[in-house]
Structure 1
Amino acid sequence: MSGSREEQLAAWTAKTKRVGFRQRNWSVVRWLAALTVTLLLAGLAVSLLDYPPALAAACWVAAAVTGAIMLIWFFDPRRFRARPSGIS
């Protein structure tokens, strides 16, 4: 990559405007990320407080499933919102 960081950013912005950049539906992704982190921390707390190991495992499995759903939602092209036409 040649040029300064500002030049690269300007070129990327110009290219993005030409192709009609679309943005992800971040509210759902943030909610799923928060749920994943909460489940991971709950599993850690259950593990450290000497509760049954099955409860910690259930928290971690639920976190893995939620994380997978988050990634699927993030990369699914049907989940994109069109960029408003008035924004330049």
Structure 2
Amino acid sequence: MAMTNEEQFAGWIAETKLAGFRRRNWPVVRRLAAVTTTLLLMSLPAEFVLGSRGVAAACWIAAAAAGTAMFAWFFDRRRFVE
């Protein structure tokens, strides 16, 4: 006889408790995503309103660095929280 959904779910919960469920550290990833988006959006007025290509380029470089840090933090297994 096949197992019911409740029995399957109870088995999954027991396995998960034994394995130690781990999750991503979402607050840090969200903050880095916000910093990346803010820097990208700030580069537009820097170039078009202020006319400063240097400030815009600095914003793009900083956004690339923040985005790289965000993806590194997202995919690094050491950064997971128990």
Distance 1:61 1:71 in 2: 15
Distance 1:62 1:80 in 2: 25
Find the counterpart in structure 1 of residue 51 from structure 2: 51
Q: Which one has a larger percent strand, Structure 1 or Structure 2?
A: 1
Find the counterpart in structure 2 of residue 66 from structure 1: 66
Tell me how large the CA RMSD over aligned residues is. 2.3
Distance 1:68 1:74 in 2: 10
Q: CA deviation digits over 1:33-87, x for unaligned, max 9?
A: 00000000000121221421111010000000000001001111000011xxxxx
Distance 2:24 2:39 in 1: 24
**Gap runs ≥5 in structure 1:** 1-6, 83-88
Distance 1:23 1:31 in 2: 17
Give the total of aligned pairs: 72
Distance 1:22 1:29 in 2: 16
Identity of matched residues, %? 49
Q: Which one has a larger percent helix, Structure 1 or Structure 2?
A: 2
Find the counterpart in structure 1 of residue 35 from structure 2: 35
Query: Residue 32 of structure 2 aligns to which amino acid in structure 1?
Result: L
Larger radius of gyration: 2
1:68 partner SS: helix
TM-score for both structures, normalised by structure 1: 0.69
